[in-house]
């Protein structure tokens, strides 16, 4: 979504919030939370992040092995003391080109797989975190719990009193729901 669209949506949201707030200012109880912190500090979130990291590291080891094989082939081709016939050199060059193309495809495939795994995890855990936030809101009597965001994504909450932060409560509820 373009930044202007996000800003417009945020403006509409804030206008709607201020209108509803003016009608129920004395009874509104709003909390804020940091979704990223819930993922990073909760047991289930840490396990999911570790799973993606492990998956990525396994793929990286395969890529590193391919890279080493390519370096060795290239060194054999460039060795001035190598006694390769022209036919053998041409075969090694073709093998190198073939392995290089396979290496490039593998990197693209692995990157796509990792991005899909990350997207899937974010989607799945986003829903689970929302459920935990909803449970906290219902238990604690909050009218709304807003994601305060961080520097990496668009921030909706620019300021809040520290007492409004319910991140720790959401982490506890998230862990309870996803043990």
Q: Where are the domains of the chain?
A: 3-177
Q: How far apart are CA 11 and CA 24, in angstroms?
A: 20
Q: For the full predicted model, state whether its pTM sits above 0.85.
A: no
Amino acid 125: pLDDT: 94
Q: Which CATH number fits domain 3-177: 3.60.150.10, 3.10.129.10, 3.30.910.20, 3.40.50.1100?
A: 3.30.910.20
Q: How far apart are CA 20 and CA 146, in angstroms?
A: 15
> Model confidence over 110-149: pLDDT tens digits?
999 999 999 999 999 999 999 999 999 999 999 999 888 7
Question: Tokens at residue 36, please?
Answer: 């990223």
């Amino acid at each position: 979504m373009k930044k202007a669209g996000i800003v417009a949506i945020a403006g509409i949201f804030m206008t709607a919030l201020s209108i509803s707030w003016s009608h129920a200012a004395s009874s509104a109880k709003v909390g804020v939370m940091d979704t990223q912190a819930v993922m990073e500090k909760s047991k289930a979130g840490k396990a999911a992040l570790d799973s993606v990291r492990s998956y990525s590291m396994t793929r990286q080891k395969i890529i590193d092995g391919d890279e080493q094989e390519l370096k060795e082939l290239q060194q054999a081709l460039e060795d001035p003391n190598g006694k390769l016939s022209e036919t053998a050199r041409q075969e090694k060059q073709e093998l190198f080109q073939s392995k290089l193309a396979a290496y490039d495809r593998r990197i693209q495939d692995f990157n796509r797989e990792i991005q899909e795994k990350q997207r899937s995890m974010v989607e799945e855990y986003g829903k689970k975190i929302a459920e935990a936030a909803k449970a906290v809101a219902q238990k604690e009597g909050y009218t709304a719990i807003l994601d305060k965001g961080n520097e990496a994504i668009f921030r909706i909450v620019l300021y809040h009193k520290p007492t409004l932060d319910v991140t720790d409560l959401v982490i506890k509820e998230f862990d309870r729901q996803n043990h």
